[in-house]
Amino acid sequence: MIFNRRISVVATATALVTLACGAPVAFAKKEPEALSAANIQAALEAAHARYKDLEEGANADYIPALAKVDPKIFGIALVTVDGRVYTQGDVASEVSIQSISKVFTMAKVIEEQGVGAIAGNMGVDATGQVFNSIVAVEQYKGAEMNAMVNPGAITATSMVAGATRDEIWAKILGYYSDFAGRPLGVNQEVFKSESETNQRNQAIAMLMHAYGRIKTDPLRATDIYTEQCSVSVNARDLATMAATLANGGTNPVTGKVLMKAENVPEVLAVMATAGMYDDSGKWLYLTGLPAKSGVGGGIIAVSPGKFGIAVISPPLDAAGNSVKAQKAIAAVSNALGGNPYAVTPARPR
């Protein structure tokens, strides 16, 4: 069975950095004890063994193609900021990225227009409502929301600059691919299935247009957003994307600079506020990690300056977050000291 497959990859403790002159060079970096190869691999193996037989939650089915995905897929990947890659379980299977894409489209808008563009348009506050709430749009008139819920996310997609749909789409897919460190593609079955059933998102986009938040064609923005949600990824792709955020916007495996380091904290802040939807507070309380889930079953989490982690397991809880992925990420991060709020007190002088 798929969830019994074990695949372990340990990359060298070598990182690529880009010098001021632009030439990438490799250098050996000392592993902090807690993040030694042995500790990381043991944490991944323990989490996988502990949760592989858990049968809670159910695949999303409001997008018909998602109901057909194998619920037993269970893959864990962790990528450190010095470019080491660790995996456990099924990291060959791919799922659609879904809402995890929202992070990287927001990042693109911030890179193009600055952090004020997001804060000043759909906002950076939690809605306290489900991710596709129309009530939330009405309540806040399309502002004081965030780019992790559908109204803000479709609006963010509408803000990516480009003269044509093709140009915008090529930019978005290319950007995601650079974060993953390999060319990504679209799951056409999922794209078709969601395109046929996304009337609610179309209505949300029309409302965001009516409130002046979406300034281009709202149905085109919804269509591009639907395609971005259908990008196909495995756990390693997602962990590399998360690790790029953990590493200040530079992909730690390829060395490619994708964001200015100064723009990354705002992205992480919105993930922490709303990345796990209505359970974002509970998640932050448990782990301290900025994270983002998708209804395809993936979750990414970022331990700034340390690692990115991702787990794929399609069955979701009532809030729309993968049951096993939440448990596995919390277990691994807590074992490795990933919580950025947990510090050792300094000794008095």
Residue numbers at the binding site for ligand DON (CB under 6 A): 98-99, 131-132, 150, 194, 201, 229, 293-295, 320
Q: Which is nearer to ligand DON, 98 or 121 (CB)?
A: 98
Q: How far is the CB of 298 from ligand DON (least distance, A)?
A: 9
Q: How far is the CB of 321 from ligand DON (least distance, A)?
A: 6
Q: State how far the Cα of 208 lies from the Cα of 76, in Å rounded to an integer.
A: 36
Q: How far is the CB of 227 from ligand DON (least distance, A)?
A: 10
Q: Which is nearer to ligand DON, 131 or 175 (CB)?
A: 131
Q: Estimate the crossing angle of helix 150-159 against helix 199-210, to 10 degrees.
A: 70
DSSP letters along 277-293, please?
GGGHHHHHHHH---EEE
DSSP class of 250: B
Q: State how far the Cα of 264 lies from the Cα of 262, in Å rounded to an integer.
A: 6
Whose CB is nearest to ligand DON? Answer: 99
Q: State how far the Cα of 8 lies from the Cα of 77, in Å rounded to an integer.
A: 9
Q: Which is nearer to ligand DON, 78 or 295 (CB)?
A: 295
DSSP H helices in 141-250: 150-159, 165-180, 188-197, 199-210, 218-229, 235-246
| DSSP-based helix, strand, coil % in the chain, nearest 5 | 45, 15, 40
Distant-in-sequence, close-in-space partners of 239: CB < 8 Å, separation ≥ 6: 77, 78, 79, 85, 87, 300, 308, 309, 310
Q: How far is the CB of 274 from ligand DON (least distance, A)?
A: 11
Question: Taking a C-beta distance cutoff of 8 angstroms, is the pair 94, 298 a contact?
Answer: no
DSSP class of 59: -
Q: Which is nearer to ligand DON, 63 or 85 (CB)?
A: 63
Backbone dihedral angles phi then psi of residue 24, each to the nearest 5 degrees:
-70, 135
Q: Which is nearer to ligand DON, 253 or 291 (CB)?
A: 291
Q: How far is the CB of 100 from ligand DON (least distance, A)?
A: 7
Q: Which is nearer to ligand DON, 132 or 133 (CB)?
A: 132
Q: How far is the CB of 249 from ligand DON (least distance, A)?
A: 23
Q: How far is the CB of 99 from ligand DON (least distance, A)?
A: 3
Q: State how far the Cα of 213 lies from the Cα of 207, in Å rounded to an integer.
A: 9
Q: Which is nearer to ligand DON, 84 or 102 (CB)?
A: 102
Q: How far is the CB of 2 from ligand DON (least distance, A)?
A: 22
Q: Which is nearer to ligand DON, 152 or 294 (CB)?
A: 294
Q: How far is the CB of 134 from ligand DON (least distance, A)?
A: 13
Q: State how far the Cα of 229 lies from the Cα of 237, in Å rounded to an integer.
A: 15
Q: State how far the Cα of 175 lies from the Cα of 281, in Å rounded to an integer.
A: 29
Q: Which is nearer to ligand DON, 93 or 201 (CB)?
A: 201
